[in-house]
Amino acid sequence: MQTSELPDLAHTDSRPLHWLATAVAMAAVVAAAGMLQPEPAASASTHRTTAGQGPAPAAAPDPLRATYPLDCGGLEHTVARRAAGDLDGDGRPETVAVVHCAAGSGTPPSGVYVLTRASGAAPRVVATLVDPAQQMSVGALAVRDGVVSATLLGYSSEDVPRCCPDQREAVTWRWQGGAFVRTAGTAPATPVGA
């Protein structure tokens, strides 16, 4: 059996200077890793601001949690449509809700309500744009640039079945001088399909 001698390699000889250099290099890596750790995540309820960014936007009032001035004769009510946006320019969104009684058939009249956050838990109705007593239903609803727009559907006479509105009117409201002012749709209602 033949044995071979290994050559004398300089790097296999450990000296105190070698260990000191290794320790300094490791300390530098650990320190750098500690500085480069990601920021801890903020909780959902924390409103953080950074340069160029404002606080997280407030959530619009939930129309399912509001109490409406709607008499349904013991029946439940239904939130048929909703749209949100800052209507009064205060930086907090309001919600516009189309609500009607949960009727089994036909087209029950709708109310169009503006909701705001109250100091308590439930949103508060601050304005009625369409009262159910007007016997209208709503075909479309939107909020854009502080303007509420809706398509109101109604009836030309008492002889028209309540299932099938035959009048349509496009309307808008804007917050002016402390009230919602109807700013369009002042022309007479047009027949559906015209």
Mean pLDDT in consecutive groups of 10 residues from the start of the chain, 194 residues: 50 58 59 50 38 67 94 91 94 95 83 89 92 93 95 91 88 94 62 54
CA distance 138 to 111: 9
Q: Note whether residue 182 is domain-resident.
A: yes
State which H helix or E strand residue 16 sits in: helix 16-35
Nearest to 170 by CA among 155, 154, 156, 189: 189
CA distance 154 to 134: 9
Query: What residues form DSSP beta bridges with 143?
Result: 148
- Non-local (6+) Cβ contacts of 188 within 8 A are 169
Q: Provide the 3-class DSSP secondary structure of residue 83.
A: strand
pLDDT at 134: 93
Q: Note whether residue 169 is domain-resident.
A: yes
pLDDT at 67: 93
pLDDT at 105: 73
Per-residue CA distances from 132 to 91, 106, 135, 138, 152 (Å)? 30, 15, 6, 11, 12
- CA 115, 116, 117 angle in degrees (round to 5)? 135
Q: Note whether residue 149 is domain-resident.
A: yes
pLDDT at 149: 96
Q: Phi/psi at 150 (nearest 5 deg)?
A: -150, 155
- State which residues form the domain around 102: 63-191
| Torsional sign, CA 118, 99, 144, 57 | positive
**Number of domains within the chain:** 1
Q: Note whether residue 47 is domain-resident.
A: no
Nearest to 138 by CA among 61, 79, 92, 187: 79
Q: Note whether residue 17 is domain-resident.
A: no
- CA 186, 189, 145 angle in degrees (round to 5)? 50
pLDDT at 163: 80
pLDDT at 45: 35
Q: Note whether residue 78 is domain-resident.
A: yes
Contact yes or no for 63/74 (Cβ under 8 A): no
Q: Note whether residue 106 is domain-resident.
A: yes
Per-residue CA distances from 42 to 7, 35, 53 (Å)? 59, 19, 15
pLDDT at 103: 79
Instruction: Tell me if the pTM is above 0.75.
Output: no
